[in-house]
Structure 1
Amino acid sequence: MTPALIDYAVDDVITLVRRPVLPEADKEYREIGIRSFGNGIFHKEPVPGHEIAAKKVFRIEPNDLVFSNVFGWEGAVAMASEAERGMIGSHRFMTYLVNKEIADARYLLPYFYGGPGLDVIRQASPGSAGRNRTLGIKTFGGKRVGLPELAEQRRVADKLDAAAMGIEQVTRTKEHSRSLTLQHADALFRSVERNAPLSKALKESSDFVAVDPDASYRTAGILNRGRGLFLRPVINGSDTKYPRYNRLHKDQFVYSKLFGWEGSLAVVTDDFAGVHVSHEFPTFDIDPEVADVEYVTHLARWRGLHDSLKDQGTGMGSRRQRVNVGRLLATEVPLPGLPEQRRIAKQLTLARKVTDGGAAQVEQLAVLRRTLLDAAFSGRL
Structure 2
Amino acid sequence: MTLTDYAVDDVITLIRRPVLPEGDKEYREIGIRSFGNGIFHKEPVAGHEIAAKKVFSVEPGDLVFSNVFAWEGAVALAADSEEGMIGSHRFMTYRVNEKIADARYLLPYFHGGPGLDVIRQASPGSAGRNRTLGIKGFGAKRVALPDLAEQRRVADRLDTAMSQIAQVSRKKSASTGLTLQHADTLFRSIEMRVPLSTVLTESSEFVAIEPGATYRTAGILNRGRGLFLRPVINGSETKYSRYNRLRRDQFVYSKLFGWEGSLAVVTEEFAGIHVSHEFPTFDMDPEVADVEYMTHLARWRGLHDSLKDQGTGMGSRRQRVNVSRLLATEVPLPDLPGQRRIAKKLTLARRVTDGSAAQVEQLATLRRALLDAAFSGRL
Residue of structure 2 equivalent to 1:296 = 294
- Residues 1-57 of structure 1: CA distance to partner in whole angstroms, max 9, x if unpaired? xx2112211111111011223344555544332222111223334444455444332
Corresponding position of 1:228: 226
Q: Point out the more displaced range, 78-87 or 142-151.
A: 78-87
CA 1:263 to 1:28, structure 2 compared with 1: closer, same or farther past 3 Å? farther
- The SS at the match of 1:67 is strand
User: Structure 1 residue 368: deviation in Å?
Assistant: 0.4
Q: Which runs of 5+ in 2 are unaligned?
A: none
Match of 2:135 among 120, 134, 137: 137
- Counterpart of 2:337 (choices 336, 339, 352) is 339
- Residue of structure 2 equivalent to 1:266: 264
Aligned pairs, number: 379
Instruction: Give the TM-score normalised by structure 1.
Output: 0.95
**2: CA distance, partners of 1:188 / 1:67:** 43
**How does 1:164-179 map onto structure 2 within 5 Å?**
164-179=162-177
SS at match of 2:13: strand
Q: Which residue of 1 aligns with 2:2?
A: 4
Contiguous gaps of at least 5 residues in structure 1: none
Residue 111 (structure 1) aligns with = 109
Distance 2:368 2:98 in 1: 26
Name the structure 2 match of 1:250: 248
Q: Secondary structure at the match of 1:168?
A: helix
CA distance in 2, matches of 1:316, 1:354: 39
Compare 257-266 and 79-88 and name the one that shifted more. Answer: 79-88
Q: In the alignment, which residue of structure 2 is the partner of 1:99?
A: 97
Matched, 1:351 2:336: no
Aligned residue runs from structure 1 range 8-27, under 5 A: 8-27=6-25
Spell out, residue by residue over 1:208-249, the C-alpha distance to the aligned partner (whole angstroms, 9 max, x if none): 122222222222221111111112222222222222221111
Identity %: 83
Deviations, residues 298-337 of structure 1 (Å, cap 9, x unaligned): 0011111112112222222222221111111111111011
SS at match of 1:285: strand
Deviation (angstroms), 1:74: 1.7
Q: Distance in 2 between matches of 1:127 and 1:225?
A: 31
* Closer/same/farther in 2, CA of residues 26 and 325 from structure 1, 3 Å limit: farther
Q: Which of these residues, 57, 61, 77, is aligned with residue 59 of structure 2? A: 61
1:104 Cα deviation from its structure 2 partner: 0.9
3-state SS of the aligned residue for 1:106? helix
User: Alignment RMSD, CA only?
Assistant: 1.7
TM superposition score normalised by structure 2: 0.95
Counterpart position of 1:189: 187
Whichever residue aligns with residue 14 of structure 1, its letter is: I
Name the CA distance, whole Å, in 1 between partners of 2:237 and 2:53: 42
Partner deviation per Cα, 1:108-147 (whole Å, 9 max, x = no partner):
0000111111111122122332223221111111111111
Tell me the distance in 2 between the aligned counterparts of 1:320 and 1:59.
40
SS state at 2:255 partner: coil
Tell me if 1:202 matches 2:200: yes
